[in-house]
């Protein structure tokens, strides 16, 4: 679908690009060499003007600096490149909607534009930019912050939502299942993920997939794997308890089943969460394409939710489930033995090994799990016939 022309303050993206095809690319290259210093100074300028914002953002700004630079860099390269600016507009809009959780409003964007402009000029060196370059940088920073601000303003959903923890299950040493009830039912689609903040760690937002489809009672479920040294995931494993109030920001995600093509779902570890949500949603209807879920874990005892998957597969003839485990035996310290009875097929290997034995021509492929697994699964899916445009996964970082 053609994306409508984006204008900010009467200027079009193309208009900026037409000033100079090379200017912005050169600026992007110069900034890229000092990206971390550049974004450090942009945020420092913003926080000097608005100290409250410093408290709203997390202590560790590195991921936010990286994200802001990545999107700015993308914009500077995309603006002169072509007429199709849909992707960059979406990325900027998403960032603007996301920044609502830190309390950014109109006047912060004016300051952000000033900080970006000032620091681009300083980083590139004022002597390296002529009057046309300066105009180009000014237009670009207005456009970038204008799109972010516009998206934030036009989002009808509240910037923040809360839900109360009602149940915490710890079926394995490093896996926590958290169930909550939202004060007001949340609008989302099965398969999406949400920016989440737990009360123990204000300012530390992490994306987590919602492991069930939306319902009018506002019930939510999350599957959280504690990663080694993980700040938020370990705190959830150790401290989350009924009564905690979690905060949620922007809801994202394009994971969905489209049309009647057969679907292969690939879930590594808690990548099962969005797939389970989609399957639960689909199970409401009998008219579904064939679905093959391949769910993997390190060892049999690390597989989880097997009972729920068994029930889903038993009652939905369109669904087939294969579980795979890298190891045949559990490590000696694993306190939960693998279930003794198995109805689902269990194979040895990784989910990527399992994919390599399939024929994915003409299929939709949905993938969720740790970033390295997603990368490997995408590459393998393509080698066994999946078209790149039909492979969907969440961003590797968010
Ligand atoms: C779109 C999306 C959806 C997600 N959904 C879920 C979900 O449903 N359930 C879930 O448990 N997690 C999910 N995650 C991962 C989650 O957002 C956090 O990244 C993860 O919980 C680690 O956060 P932390 O604060 O504990 O670790 P941090 O303190 O941020 O990082 C500590 C260390 O752990 C490493 N690390 C970070 N993530 C992982 C990982 N996935 N595997 C191994 N090492 C890692 C870091 O590189 C770092 O070295 C999702 C991530 C994305 C991008």
Sorted by where each begins, the domain ranges of the chain are 7-154, 161-252, 263-393
H helix or E strand, kind and range, residue 275:
helix 272-282
Q: What is the pLDDT of residue 2?
A: 35
Q: What is the pLDDT of residue 23?
A: 79
Shared fold status for 161-252 and 263-393: no
Architecture field, domain 263-393: 3-Layer(aba) Sandwich (3.40)
Instruction: Measure the CA–CA gap between 71 and 193, rounded to whole angstroms.
Output: 20
Tell whether domain 161-252 is in CATH 1.10.1740.10: no
Residue 217 above 50 pLDDT? yes
Q: What is the pLDDT of residue 346?
A: 83
- Nearest-atom number in ligand 1 for the CA of 234 is 26
Q: Is 252 in the pocket of ligand 1 (CB under 6 A)?
A: no
pTM: 0.85
- Looking only at the bridges linking them, the beta strands covering 364-368 and 263-268 are parallel
Q: Report the percentage of the chain scoring pLDDT > 70.
A: 91
State the pLDDT confidence band at 20, using cuts at 50, 70 and 90: low
Residue 126 above 60 pLDDT? yes
Residue 205 above 80 pLDDT? yes
Q: What is the pLDDT of residue 117?
A: 96
Q: What is the pLDDT of residue 337?
A: 55
Residue 3 above 70 pLDDT? no
Residue 286 above 60 pLDDT? yes
State the pLDDT confidence band at 5, using cuts at 50, 70 and 90: very low
Mutate-to-test residue for ligand 1 from 202, 208, 248, highest number of ligand atoms within 8 A of CB: 208
- Nearest-atom number in ligand 1 for the CA of 222 is 8
**Fold that domain 7-154 belongs to in CATH:** Globin-like (1.10.490)
Q: What is the pLDDT of residue 311?
A: 92
Q: What is the pLDDT of residue 259?
A: 86
Q: Are 160 and 186 in contact (CB under 8 A)?
A: no
Residue 152 above 70 pLDDT? yes
Closest CA to 257 of 284, 271, 275: 275
Closest CA to 247 of 307, 203, 192: 203
Give the Å distance between the CA of 198 and the centre of ligand 1.
Answer: 14
Residue 10 above 50 pLDDT? no
pLDDT, the chain, mean: 89
- Average pLDDT of the segment spanning 220-225: 98
């Amino acid at each position: 679908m053609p994306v409508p022309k984006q204008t900010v303050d009467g200027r079009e993206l193309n208009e900026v690009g037409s000033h100079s095809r090379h200017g912005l690319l050169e600026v992007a290259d110069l900034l890229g060499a000092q990206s971390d210093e550049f974004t450090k100074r942009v945020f420092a300028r913003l926080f000097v003007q608005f100290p409250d914002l410093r408290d709203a953002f997390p202590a560790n700004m590195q991921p936010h600096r990286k994200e802001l630079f990545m999107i700015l860099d993308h914009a500077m390269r995309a603006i002169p490149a072509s007429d199709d600016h849909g992707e960059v507009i979406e990325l900027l809009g998403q960032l603007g909607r996301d920044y609502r959780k830190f309390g950014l409003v109109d006047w912060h964007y004016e300051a952000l534009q000033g900080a970006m402009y000032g620091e681009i000029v300083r980083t590139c060196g004022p002597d390296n930019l002529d009057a046309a370059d300066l105009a180009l940088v000014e237009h670009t920073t207005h456009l970038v912050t204008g799109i972010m601000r516009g998206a934030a303003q036009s989002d009808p959903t509240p910037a923040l939502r809360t839900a109360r923890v009602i149940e915490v299950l710890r079926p394995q040493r490093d896996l926590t299942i958290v169930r909550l009830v939202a004060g007001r039912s949340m609008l989302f689609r099965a398969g999406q993920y949400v920016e989440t903040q737990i009360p123990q760690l204000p300012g530390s937002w992490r994306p987590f997939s919602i492991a069930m489809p939306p319902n009018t009672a506002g019930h939510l479920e999350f599957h959280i794997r504690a990663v080694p040294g993980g700040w938020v995931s370990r705190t959830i494993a150790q401290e989350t308890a009924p009564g905690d109030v979690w905060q949620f920001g922007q809801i994202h995600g394009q994971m969905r089943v489209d049309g009647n093509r057969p679907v292969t779902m690939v879930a590594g570890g808690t990548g099962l969460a969005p797939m389970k949500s989609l399957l639960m949603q689909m199970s409401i209807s009998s008219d579904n394409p064939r679905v093959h879920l391949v769910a993997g874990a390190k060892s049999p005892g690390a597989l989880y939710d097997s009972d729920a998957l068994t029930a889903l597969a038993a009652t939905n003839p369109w669904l087939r489930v294969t579980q795979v485990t890298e190891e045949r035996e559990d490590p000696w310290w694993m306190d939960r033995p693998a279930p003794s009875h198995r109805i689902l097929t269990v194979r040895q290997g990784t989910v990527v090994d399992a994919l390599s034995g399939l024929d994915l021509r003409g299929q939709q492929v949905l993938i969720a799990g740790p970033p390295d697994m997603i990368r490997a699964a995408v590459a393998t899916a393509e080698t066994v016939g999946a078209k790149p445009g039909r492979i969907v996964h969440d961003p590797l970082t968010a």
